[in-house]
Amino acid sequence: MKIIGIASSPRGEASNSTIALKTALDAAEAKGAEVEIFNIAEMEISDCHGDNYCKAHGDECAIKDGMDPIYEAIKECDALVLASPIYFFDLTARTRAFIDRLYAFYMTPFTENYGAKKFSLITTQGMPDESAFKAAMDLAAQAFATIGFEVVDVEAFGDGNQPNSLTDEQVEKAKKIGENLL
């Protein structure tokens, strides 16, 4: 089983969402999964141009940038875990741009062509109430469901205003997200 992780925080190694993502993927790897992480905060990811080129060119995006290797990895993966901080009640702008670029896989027989795939979402936030941004999280999950992914976990990690501040309980929660994909 191949699982790819998409990290998106600009905080680097101390990022709560990236730490939760790595923890999830490490747990999956320990159970035999092959894992790979892309950090879209450090990659050139353009906004979608909305030119519908992908609709006439079988899943291929007209834009050539950091999404190129990610598109290929998504085609080949069995599961994708997306990790994003919450910025002003929503996923970050960079994460939203990444999701928009998956329009290349929309209204095409994507999962029929490339196999069944699972999706899990990790978000981190300052607010302790982990249901506070459920609406934004559900919309992101819906985008992946729309292109054929089976949604497995949609989990928020609260109280994370400080970098590198996951609690032991949150680390255990992250491990389960990885294990649930196998």
Ligand X SMILES: Cc1cc2nc3c(=O)[nH]c(=O)nc-3n(C[C@H](O)[C@H](O)[C@H](O)COP(=O)(O)O)c2cc1C
Q: Which residues bind ligand X (CB under 6 A)?
A: 9, 11, 15-18, 85-89, 124-127, 160-161, 163
Please state the closest distance from residue 170 (CB atom) to ligand X, in A. 11
Separation between Cα atoms, residue 168 and residue 165, nearest integer Å: 10
Handedness of CA 79, 83, 88, 89 (dihedral sign): positive
Distance in angstroms between the alpha carbons of the first and the last residue of the chain: 8
Please state the closest distance from residue 84 (CB atom) to ligand X, in A. 8
Please state the closest distance from residue 5 (CB atom) to ligand X, in A. 13
Q: Which is nearer to ligand X, 108 or 170 (CB)?
A: 170
Q: Which is nearer to ligand X, 108 or 125 (CB)?
A: 125
Q: Which is nearer to ligand X, 117 or 173 (CB)?
A: 173
Handedness of CA 158, 162, 165, 167 (dihedral sign): negative
128, 86 in Cβ contact below 8 A? Answer: no
Q: Which is nearer to ligand X, 11 or 75 (CB)?
A: 11
Separation between Cα atoms, residue 79 and residue 121, nearest integer Å: 11
Please state the closest distance from residue 108 (CB atom) to ligand X, in A. 31
Q: Which residue is nearest to ligand X (CB)?
A: 160
